[in-house]
Amino acid sequence: MKKIFYIMSVCAAAFMAGSCMEIDNFDAPDQHFTGRIIDSTTGENILADQGECHVRIWEKSYSLNPSPQDIPVKQDGAYNNSKLFAGTYDVVPEGAWWPADTVRVGIGGGKTVTQNFEVTPYLRLIDFDAKIENDSLVVSCRLDEPPVVEGMPNIMDIRPFLSLNQFCGAANCISHYSTIDAYKKNINAKWEKVKKLEDGKSEVYQFKLWVKPGYTYFVRMGARVKDTFQKYNYTEIKKVEVPAE
Amino acid sequence: MRKVMKNVKYIFAAAVLGLMATSCNDLDLDPKGQLYENVLLSSDTGVKKYLALVYQDLPIEDFNYKQNGDNKGYATVNSGGWHSGNKWEAQKGSPAAAAMEAVGRDPSYGDSWGYWPYDRIRDINNMIERLPDYRDSYGEDKYNELLGEAHFLRAYYYFGIVKRYGGVPIVDKVLDPTAESSTLQLPRNTEYECWKFIYEDLKFAMENATASKAETGRANRWAAGALMSRAMLYAATNAKYGQYIGTTGEAVSKGLMVMDPSYAEEFFQYSYDAAKWLADNGGFSLHTGADKEKAYTEVFIEPTVEDIYVKQYGPNTTTPTNTSLFHCWDTMVLPLGTGLASNVGAALQPTWEIMGLYEMPAIIDENGNPVRFNSPEEIWNNGEMEARCRANFFFSGMTESVSGEVIEIQAGVYKSYPGTAADGTEETQGSTNAYTDQYRVRASQPGTRQTVDGVEVQVSGKYGLSEGTGDEGYTRTGAFIRKYVNYNGAAADRVLFGSTQSWKVFRYGEILLNWAEAAYELGLEKGDESLKKEAFTYVNMIRERAGASQHDMVEAPADLGTDVYGFPIDENLQYIRDERARELCFENHRLYDLRRWRVADIMFLDGKFAHTLLPYYVIDEGKWIYLNEVEREGRKVTFDKKWYYEQMPGGEISKNPNIIRNDGY
């Protein structure tokens, strides 16, 4: 019986060792692809939240109908992936902007490939203000006339986002505020139907939020339209220090 | 030991020799005991055998349909060639929970399990192609009836996939697996073409399948008409409301998902015509009786004039295992208790979102205060609640007939209730706030008596609420599901796999509601007031049987949709939709209805809490109140917009690069 055990162990060891013999001769992915998402109305990088929007890529040299991969867009509006296989890729940025054209990019040769995209955001948020009144945080903003009105999907909602670190937006916020209906304005209408002031821009959207004394908040507001992705366009981020009691 | 080893050696050697010797025999023989096409397709009995698996796998969202968690899918979903059945957990992942009709464990649409039943479609295509070879075996009528049956079955499978994905490849002939793979890699047809294909198949089935209702569980032309009325309504609303989901991309631009709204009228007309055809020719009617509550429960348990197509089950002691032809409804919806559920218990419980749609006494007065009742029974026995509501739910104090048990439900006590209903129903998990902390007392176990403020009182009902017994077994929402509970069954059958009551796949009640919706929508499309009015005659037939008051069409209906969803839904249409919710609750329609109306993403935007109908005893007044608290587990119902069209199964894309993915993912 013992012998059988030995024989079996030797067999098993040989079997396991055999699996080490295969040599993986494919290089690890090491190609670098990067770029910026530029807001065509300002020429600056788009105001984004860390990881909310993405650049979608398809490796066309690998398959006729490949699965997409997503490279997240960072808060500064740039994207970056330094671990891609060399190949031919179809690339398109997807997020809170009008659909952009897909471009074909060859990635390889060890050089960093940079591809910037100029996109038109659906909405522009203006006159953003955040201040402490008594024990509450009062935030407000307005919607500028959209860069393109023709054919724009319904505007869904507008709401504030609060965070305790410098990353702030729908993907990085204190979830408590998004569970309460009072901290959100549902619009669900076309731009033409949105209430406006005399200058043709929207009414003021204002929210009064309960905040903790002695804390530092990072605050911004966002609004989105009912397109494919339903991602937010943002204001800049304001840092607000709530005085201790 | 050595002796034994030696013996073993000999035996082994003999066995090996024997094995090698047999291989010399010619293996190329037809195995005995197998049936071939010449037997299967040449008689009605043979065809029944041939179609057995096709029927078993039919995409019916029945008692065993689970849309989330382990073993999701139709109970007989084919996983790697095996039919993994016996889904005792089906109610935990019921679509009712994702539509907020009930609370279960999976409150979000989770249907993406890669449904792709082209194996069964191939079986049907084979039958349609080969049956002409055996034409002589049948009389003309029988031959056409079998072809009609096959077309109904094929349409049912395509309905199952098209409602999930939109356009899919239409395969209507037997493909040769040895053909060059490029000829097998069929692209997706457009969503419109797919619905039209279903229409053509059903039209054929309605004309050719048997008119006889003698064989329960087997499809006839009436079943085909019923599916026509349902499927064409799905197609029509997909076309009319698809434009509002706002998704763009390659699949949309090629028509593989989202249809042009101009197709809506055509499909509404098909649905309308099918319902009218059934009404004029089928001889079906609503089941009713002097005792409307009793009659309504009979609809789901007895064979009635309302049945159009029924799926039957058997006792698990005699039905082959892994067939899913038995289920656990009773023990999954009743509470744990003697004569009630023996296992699990109350895995699926009704929400206020559905209960609140029925006629019943107001529980909040005009000042926002909870109405005081002398007993919890007053909510259902003071004559204000419609019969259908009593037949669909067990409320506190009702008696369950098989066990003879009084379903005693009490959520807790309030020492005093000075506030408004809103004070005690904060939108937080379990509605807990400073007010409830001050006044509310609940128990951790069911059936608890304890001293509160120096008075000994009953704090929790025998069947709930209890805070320390997990999410199942006892009520969390203040009621239990009564619909489909078998009042003819024995208490001993209220165990896992013990239930045998049939599933009413199509009943005339649904057809009237399909008809009403199609008629009203057609009226809107054509600007025809008489069609709109006609819709309400069908709604009122349903309401009459339900023991509810009659409802007239509003002449100048308000627009309830634009402010909420961004597109118009008028008051009358909303009423027809709500009637559908009331009549068809827990029949696994609601999730697909909310989905085809394209309202689910906004309805459950950011996740929404389900609410309850919880009875409390107010100690200082000696009265009872009902509160719509947030359900204690606080599971939020969510619906992502992308779920209007499920993603194409990844495995199929890797086999067939011509399959374009759906957009929005």
Domains and CATH numbers, chain A: 31-119 (2.60.40.1120), 125-241 (2.60.40.2060)
Which H/E stretch holds residue B579? helix B571-584
Q: Which of A153, A181, A188 sits opposite B563 (nearest CB)?
A: A188
Where is pLDDT greater, at B326 or B381? B381
B441 has pLDDT over 70: yes
As a whole number of angstroms, the distance between CA B177 and CA A57 comes to: 34
- pLDDT of residue A12 exceeding 70, the answer is no
Kindly give, in sequence order, each residue whose CB lies less than 8 Å from that of residue B165, ignoring residues fewer than 6 positions away. B257, B645, B646, B648, B662
Mean pLDDT of A117-136: 94
Stated pTM of the model: 0.90
pLDDT for the residue B143: 96
What ipTM goes with this model? 0.83
| Separation between Cα atoms, residue A131 and residue A238, nearest integer Å | 9
When mean pLDDT is compared across B72-76, B270-274, B388-392, B585-589, the lowest value belongs to B72-76
**What φ, ψ does residue B649 adopt, rounded to 5°?**
-60, 130
Residue B293 has pLDDT above 60, yes or no: yes
User: Is the pLDDT at B81 greater than 60, yes or no?
Assistant: no
Mean pLDDT across chain B, nearest whole number? 92
Q: Which H or E element spans position A163?
A: strand A155-163
Express as a percent the part of chain B with pLDDT over 70. 93
- For B2, the closest chain A residue by CA position comes to A1
Which of A179, A183, A185 would you mutate first to test chain B, the one with the most B CBs within 10 A?
A179
Say yes or no: B658 contacts chain A, CB-CB below 8 A.
Answer: yes
Please give the Cα distance from A117 to B449 (Å, whole number): 69
User: For the residues of A56-116, what is the DSSP string, one character each?
Assistant: EEEETTT-SSPPPEEEEPPTTSEEEEEEE-SEEEEEEEESSBSPPPPEEEEE-TTPPEE--
A60 touches chain B (CB under 8 A): no
Q: How far is A100 from chain B (nearest CA, A)?
A: 11
* Any A CB within 8 A of B4 CB: no
Read off the tokens for B237: 């609303």
| Binary contact (A179, B606; C-beta < 8 A) | yes
Instruction: Enumerate the residues of chain A whose CB falls inside 8 A of the CB of residue B566.
Output: 154, 156, 188-189, 226
- pLDDT band (50, 70, 90) for residue A57: very high
CB B508 within 8 Å of CB B349: no
* Residues B537-563, mean pLDDT to the nearest whole number: 96
- Beta-carbon contacts of residue B21 (< 8 Å; ≥ 6 apart): none
pLDDT at B80: 53
Query: What is the DSSP secondary structure assignment for residue A172, as one 8-state letter?
Result: B
pLDDT of residue B489: 87
Q: Do B427 and A180 touch (CB under 8 A)?
A: yes
CB contact under 8 A, A226 and B606: no
Contact B296, B544 (CB under 8 A): no
Nearest residue in chain B measured CA to CA from A177 = B606
Collapsing DSSP to helix, strand or coil, A224 comes out as: strand
- pLDDT greater than 60 at residue B4: no
Q: Measured on CA atoms in the order B207, B212, B217, B223, is the torsion positive or negative?
A: positive
Residue A15, number of CB atoms within 10 A of its CB: 9
Of B89, B99, B92, B6, nearest to B595 (Cα)?
Answer: B99
What's the one-letter identity of residue A82? S
- Give residue-wise pLDDT tens across range A70-108: 999 999 999 999 999 999 999 999 999 999 999 999 998
**Considering only CB atoms, which chain B residues are within 8 Å of A228?**
246-249, 663-664
In this prediction, residue B110 carries a pLDDT of: 83
**Residue A235 CB neighbours (<10 A):** 22
Q: Write out the two tokens for A138.
A: 């009062």
The residue of chain B nearest to residue A64, with distances taken between CA atoms, is B657
Q: SS3 for A14?
A: helix
**Contacting residues of A for B247, CB less than 8 Å apart:** 227-228
- CB crowding B224-238: b at 16 or more within 10 Å, else e: bbbbbbbbbbbbbbb
Instruction: Return the percentage of chain A with pLDDT > 90, whole number.
Output: 76
Q: What is the DSSP string of B185-245?
A: -PPPPPHHHHHHHHHHHHHHHHHHS-----STTS--HHHHHHHHHHHHHHHHHHHHHHGGG
Closest residue, chain A, to B565 (C-alpha):
A188
CB contact (8 A) between residue A189 and residue B566? yes
Sheet holding A205-210, edge to edge: A125-133, A136-143, A205-210
**Shortest CA gap B664–chain A (Å):** 5
pLDDT tens digits for B143-173? Answer: 999 999 999 999 999 999 999 999 999 999 9
User: Bridge partners of B464?
Assistant: B461
Averaged pLDDT score across all residues of chain A: 90
Terminal CA-to-CA distance of chain A, rounded, Å? 79
Q: Is B455 on the interface with A (CB under 8 A)?
A: no
CB B445 within 8 A of CB B460: yes
- Residue of chain B whose alpha carbon sits nearest to that of A65: B657
Interface test with B, best of A61, A188, A191, A231 (most B CBs within 10 A): A188
Per-residue model confidence (pLDDT) at position B21: 55
Are the C-beta atoms of residues B371 and B379 closer than 8 Å to each other?
A: no
Q: Do A179 and B607 touch (CB under 8 A)?
A: yes
- Mean pLDDT value of segment B281-295: 97
pLDDT at B75: 66
3-state secondary structure of B382: coil
Does residue B275 surpass a pLDDT of 90? yes
Residue of B nearest to A170 (CA): B606
User: Looking at B574-619, which runs of residues are DSSP E strands?
Assistant: 608-609, 614-618
Tell me if B63 sits within 8 A of B85, measured CB to CB.
no
B473: which DSSP letter? S
Residue A31 clears pLDDT 50, i.e. is over it: yes
Q: Please give the full DSSP string across B101-169, using - where no structure is assigned.
A: SEE-S--B----S----HHHHHHHHHHHHHGGGGGGGS-HHHHHHHHHHHHHHHHHHHHHHHHHHSS--
- Centre a 10 Å sphere on the Cβ of residue B146 and count the other Cβ atoms it contains: 24
Question: What pLDDT band is residue B17 in, cutting at 50, 70 and 90?
Answer: low
- For residue B28, the distance in angstroms to the closest alpha carbon of chain A comes to 36
Q: Which amino acid is it at B461?
A: G
Torsion sign over Cα B526, B527, B531, B535: positive
Contact B663 A228 (CB under 8 A): yes
| Reported confidence tier of residue B402, pLDDT bands at 50, 70, 90 | very high
- What mean pLDDT comes out for the span B366-371? 96
Residue A61 contacts B, CB cutoff 8 Å: no
Tell me, rounded to whole angstroms, the distance of Cα B605 from its chain centroid. 22
Q: Using CA atoms, how far apart are residues B306 and B291, in angstroms rounded to an integer?
A: 17
Domains and CATH numbers, chain B: 2-98+111-285 (1.25.40)
The Cα-based distances of B357 to B101, B350, B548, B571 in angstroms read 11, 12, 12, 15
A49 φ, ψ to 5°? Answer: -105, 150
Q: How confident is the model at residue B324 (pLDDT cuts 50, 70, 90)?
A: confident
Rounded mean pLDDT, A158-167: 95
Residue A68: closest C-alpha in chain B:
B665
Dist. CA A99–CA B248, nearest whole Å: 8
Mention every residue, 6+ apart, whose C-beta is less than 8 A from residue B126: B174
Nearest C-alpha of chain B: how many angstroms from A153?
7
Nearest to A188 among B564, B607, B663 (CB): B564
Residues of A in contact with B248 (CB under 8 A): 99, 227-228
Which amino acid, residue A222? G
Chains A, B: CB pairs < 8 Å: 46
Rounded Cα distance, A5 and A142, in Å: 78
User: How far is Cα B128 from Cα B209, in angstroms, rounded to an integer?
Assistant: 13
Per-residue pLDDT, averaged over A110-126, amounts to 94
**H or E element that contains B352:** helix B352-355
Percentage with pLDDT > 70 across chain A: 93
Residues 521-580, chain B, touching A (beta carbon < 8 A): 562-566
Query: Which of A65, A67, A230 is facing B641, going by the closest CB pair?
Result: A230
Indicate the pLDDT class of residue B1, thresholds 50, 70 and 90.
Answer: very low
3-state SS, residue B365: coil
pLDDT reading at B102 higher than 50: yes
Query: Which pLDDT belongs to residue B46?
Result: 95
